[in-house]
Every structure is written in structure tokens, then in C-alpha cells.
Amino acid sequence: MKAFFGIGGYLPAEGYLSWQHLTFVSSLMVILIGLAIFVGLRQKSKTYREKNSVLIITAILIDSLEIFKIVFFGVRDSNPMIWVSELPLFLCSIQLIAIPLAAFSKGRLRDAALDFVLIFGMLGAVFGTYGAGQNYAAYPVLSFPNVISGITHSISGFASLYIGISGMSGMKKKNMPITFGILGGFCAAAYIVNSTVRNADGELYLNYMFLMRDDGTPYQIFYNLVNGNKILYPLIVVALFLLYITLFYLVVFFIRSKRSERQLPGIKS
């Protein structure tokens, strides 16, 4: 248990894309997809309030686990400033705020938050488990950081699929500006934190939303394209996020229009 929690140091890491890594995250994927389908179909015909009860539990669970992780690291490492590097300003960790917004807010903000979780939840789950090269190269698969990270990312994926399957998200055009605003607000906050917080040596070291450098991600293509330009590179990253949201909405609108055409009398499918 000491090794699991990193008290006195962790055991050697099995490595990124090792069979242990792939087995663990694949197990999480099977569980989250199975639960989302089972619970989503079971709740689909129920009232919105009943559907939302599942999302409320999901929001409380994901935030409780993340808060516990931050507090534990702060106590273990005697570092009260640990929260600075654990702010919910990565694309995956935005769900720590987006899911509670979807569960507890009302009106168009709630609708846009539901859309946001639907659009990014599963994407974050995949990239935060299969694509978490930095974590699985540094820590053993069955260690506190990787287990908690795997579970919270899986919860995000569950919330995304559940919202889609149960029919909670309306994906309406009028919600698009708010959905863009949610992402834009987090990107602005991430850039401000990245540009102001320094380590003991006075150096900038945070890289929320990968707005400062690529860190070995596919963003390396664009980082190299503009030679790491401090203005162009983050603008490209944000533009890619917005493009993804736009394409997601357009695909949904296209599918709906085709369904409507098939349902109209006198129109052949």
C-alpha cells in the first residue's frame, strides 16, 4: 500500500503502451461503456429529473475523487501549493466543472453544459487513458495517480455516453455560442495561469490545455509549423478545439435532417 500511494517512492513503471497499461485502461473502457449503455437505456423513458439524478451522482463522485487526490498529494508531499498544478484547466479536467454545471444549473447554461460534456467527455476519456503517455511512463499502472486518473477520465466518458443515450442533450443551434464560451473561458484562464505562475527558479512551467508547448502530443505538428510562436501556437490550439465543437454539432444536425427527410410523407429514403 505504501508503494501504491507513493509513500517512500513508487515501484518502477511498466511503461506506456505496455500490456499492463492497455489491459487496465481497456478494462475501464469496457466498464464505462457497459454502464453507460445499461443505465442510459434504463433511464431513457423516464422524466428529466430522474435522468438527472444519475448525472448528479456522477458529478459528486468525480469531484470528490479529484479533491481527495489533491488533498492527499498536498499532505503527503507537505506542499500546500499542489493545487496550482492540479487546477481543472486541462481539456479532460474541464469536466470537473462541466458535469456539475450540467447536473445542477438550469436553462441554456445547463443545456450548453450538457452539450459540452457530450462533445468532450468521451474524447477526454480516451486521450486521458490510452493517450496518457506521461503518466504511464512515470508511474506503475496500479498506482494512486494512474488509478484515480483512470477512474475520473472514465467517469467523464460515462457521463458523455449516458447523456447521449438517455437523450438529455438537445444539441440546439442556440446553445452553440455558450458551448464555445465555456471552452473559450477555460482557455483564457489556462493561458493566464500558464503565463503568470512560476516555479522557485522563476521559470514558467505550467502548460494547461497545451497552450504553451506540445509536450509530445500531436500538437507538435503545429508547434513546429510556427516555430513555437507564443501567439500563433496557442491560437491554433484554441481554433482546433472550436473546430471540433463545430464539426460535432454539424454532424448531429446532418443526421437529424436526414431522419426528418425519411419521416416526411412522399419522400423516398
pLDDT along the chain (269 residues), means of 10: 90 93 97 97 95 97 95 86 84 92 94 95 92 88 95 96 93 91 93 90 89 83 92 94 94 87 57
Which pLDDT belongs to residue 268? 46
Which pLDDT belongs to residue 52? 97
pTM: 0.89
As given in the structure block, the three cell numbers for residue 149 are: 486518473
From the number of C-beta atoms within 10 Å of its C-beta (0-12, 13-18, 19+), residue 115 rates as: buried
**Gyration radius of the chain over CA positions:** 20
Displacement of CA 173 from its chain's centroid (Å):
22
Specify the amino acid at residue 193.
V
Alpha-carbon distances, residue 122 vs 33, 34, 95, 152 (angstroms):
10, 13, 10, 12
Which pLDDT belongs to residue 267? 44
Cβ proximity of 19 and 139 under 8 Å: no
